[in-house]
Amino acid sequence: MVKSPQLVGHVLSSSGEYRSDIIEVTLLKDVAVYQGEYLYVIGPNENRVYVQVDFNPLRRPTASYDEKLVRDGVIRIDEERIIGKAVCRQIGYVNEKGEIEPLLLPIPPFTKVYRPTPQELSEFITPTGPSITVGKIYPTGITLTLDLRTLLRQGCLITGGVGTGKSTLLLTIIMKMLKETGKQRVHLLLIDWDGEFNVESLKQAAEGKGGYLQLNSKIRISKRQRPLSPDEYYRKFCNLAGITRQNKEGKALYAVLNNLKESGEQAIEWSEKAFREKILTKIVDEECREKLMNHARIVFSGTDRSGGVNIIEAVMRNALVHLNFSDADNWDEIINITADILEECYLEARSNPYFGVAVFIDEVHNFAPQNYSEGAASPTAYMRIGPLTRLLATTGPRNGIPLFVATQRLSEVDKVVSTQMGQNIFAFRVEDIDLDRLRNIRGSDVAYAARLLPRGRCIYKGHALKVNRPIICSIEKICNTASVGKDLLTRWGTEE
């Protein structure tokens, strides 16, 4: 049986003013609507113009003697005087291009207001194209579907107090990217500081998608050197080779690099291969060329990538590379290895248009703290990774390396990182200390709702939905994180 839209009330303003952006609705008797719910009216072109309930008060005219009666314990309930209201904000209608466009005309009084059917709401709110599903929109039960292209273009921030479900959501997003992307290749990098994501279901999903590799904190990453300007290249090579500009080979090297600089060359890869191809081939003097080659063998002897894990190859060969740092001796070890890996991935993504990886970090306040002296690692370690996390948050997505981060301490996360990642935000119930940061990132409506949410529900606001308005949702739990069922009572053992 196909459901029909339900008439819930009529547009009727208490002030007598009718606008296009704010719509006040008087509800029919015995009809209730929920905060955050979507309703619609029929516009002038017979299209459905959707609105969202901002708040849903009950209104009862108060007589002068009412307070005295209540004070005396005399309660007279007059159902006819209690009126249900809904103050809504206009979302818009779907135009011919399939885009949501606001109606710029006022909504006139007595316009009928409907609750859409599940199918109507799903058609309106669900994006087209590649997408993933992460839960249900409350209270409708409509599947929450997010545009994958937008998510990967912007990244995502998840915040909430202890035990609210943020790690579960991060795990759900990873699993959905592995399971709901069809034949699309997927490359994910998970930075797991305490082994929370060391679950068999995740491993199986990654293996089924293209490969799973788990690395620990004792690995050594084979690093490539960053490209150098001609001036930097000359100084570094001379210092390591022990030659000066007065040497014959020093003069020859300077001449070649100066010519490259004048021709517009801004960066030269620091490798023996690049040295042979870009510099040595331009040295005419055979004796000088041979001496420079001998110097190069020494200078570049420590820069090959064979002495450790090539993280670029590891990412390209697997659907998921899982960095399980639960065996780390200290936080400096975790931060330094993470910095090595992120730097390698970013440099590769900048230079290789075929390389891209989505990076997931749980408890990101430990990796990108606002105050280096209050973080888990030393200030020295943070001085290295801090600029890198800010760079990834701001320019990573457009270079094929978006961040998906979660934190229970939003107020302690680097402001650049939290603000930039907040373009798509899932907010579970947060502590009072974090509300100001949440309000600054996504507005008072999100912060207010996040104070009242029950466990397991969160509020989402972002561009991965066709509607850039906050919605309340319950997250689909695909599997538990590793810490579930391993609390202190379990460690003590069951009662005899």
Give residue 363's pLDDT band: very low, low, confident or very high (50, 70, 90).
very high
Would you say residue 437 has pLDDT above 80?
yes
Whether 405 contacts 364, CB under 8 Å? yes
Give residue 494's pLDDT band: very low, low, confident or very high (50, 70, 90).
low
Quick one: pLDDT at residue 435?
A: 80
Give residue 297's pLDDT band: very low, low, confident or very high (50, 70, 90).
confident
Q: What is the pLDDT of residues 131-153, one digit of tens each?
A: 999 999 887 888 999 999 999 99
Quick one: pLDDT at residue 76?
A: 72
Would you say residue 2 has pLDDT above 70?
no
Query: Which of 34-48, 440-454, 475-489 bottoms out in mean pLDDT, i.e. has the lowest?
Result: 440-454
Give residue 371's pLDDT band: very low, low, confident or very high (50, 70, 90).
very high
Across the range 427-455, mean pLDDT stands at: 77
To the question of domain 131-221+310-492 being in CATH 3.40.50.300, the answer is yes
Would you say residue 473 has pLDDT above 70?
yes
Across the range 469-484, mean pLDDT stands at: 84
The residue written with tokens 């005899």 in the block is: 496
Q: What is the pLDDT of residues 37-69, one digit of tens each?
A: 899 999 988 999 999 998 888 887 777 777 777
Across the range 329-347, mean pLDDT stands at: 93
CA dihedral sign of residues 463, 465, 467, 472: negative
Between helix 331-351 and helix 379-395 the angle, nearest 10°, is 30
Would you say residue 421 has pLDDT above 70?
yes
Q: How far are the Cα atoms of 68, 132, 184, 320 from residue 174, in angstroms, in the given order?
A: 60, 10, 14, 9
Q: Where are the beta strands (DSSP E) in 353-486?
A: 358-361, 403-407, 424-427, 457-462, 471-475
Tokens read off for 410: 């939003």
CATH of domain 6-117: 2.40.30
- Taking the model in full, what pTM does it have? 0.78
Whether 397 contacts 419, CB under 8 Å? no
Would you say residue 96 has pLDDT above 90?
no
Would you say residue 317 has pLDDT above 70?
yes
Would you say residue 129 has pLDDT above 90?
no
Sheet architecture: strand order including 156-159: 142-147, 131-137, 471-475, 457-462, 424-427, 156-159, 403-407, 358-361, 188-192, 320-324, 212-215
Domain ranges for the chain, please list them.
Answer: 6-117, 131-221+310-492, 230-299
Whether 446 contacts 105, CB under 8 Å? no
Quick one: pLDDT at residue 495?
A: 57
Rounded to 5 degrees, φ, ψ at 384 are -85, -45
Q: What is the pLDDT of residues 186-242, one digit of tens each?
A: 999 999 999 999 999 999 999 999 999 999 988 888 766 668 888 988 988 888 788
Q: Which residue has the higher pLDDT, 226 or 429?
A: 429
Q: Which residue has the higher pLDDT, 389 or 163?
A: 389
Give residue 160's pLDDT band: very low, low, confident or very high (50, 70, 90).
confident
Q: Which residue has the higher pLDDT, 301 or 65?
A: 65
Query: Which of 167-181, 225-239, 360-374, 380-394 bottoms out in mean pLDDT, i.e. has the lowest?
Result: 225-239
